Amino acid sequence: RLVVALSRSRLGLFVLGRASVFENCFELTPAFDQLSRRPKKLLIIPSESYPTQRKVEEKPSDKVLRIDDTAHMCNFVHEFYNSNVEMLTANYQAAMEEHERVRMRFLPPPEEQPMEVDEDVKKAEEKKVKEEKKKEEQAEDIAFEEMDFQRLENIPKV
One DSSP character per residue, 37-66 reads TS-SSEEE-TT--SSPSS-TTSPPSS--EE
Nearest to 15 by CA among 70, 57, 55, 66: 70
Predicted confidence at residue 39, as pLDDT, reads 80
pLDDT (average), residues 44-68: 84
Residue 158 above 60 pLDDT? no
DSSP label at residue 14: -
Query: For the segment 124-157, what is each residue's pLDDT rounded down to a tens digit?
Result: 888 999 998 888 777 666 666 666 666 666 666 6
8-state DSSP, 140: H
Rg of the chain (C-alpha set): 41
**67: helix, strand or coil:** strand
- Closest-CA residue to 67 (of 90, 44, 33, 93): 44
Please give the pLDDT value at position 91: 92
Highest mean pLDDT among 7-11, 24-28, 40-44, 96-100: 96-100
- Answer yes or no: are the C-beta atoms of 12 and 5 closer than 8 Å: no
Rounded CA separation 90/22 (Å): 45
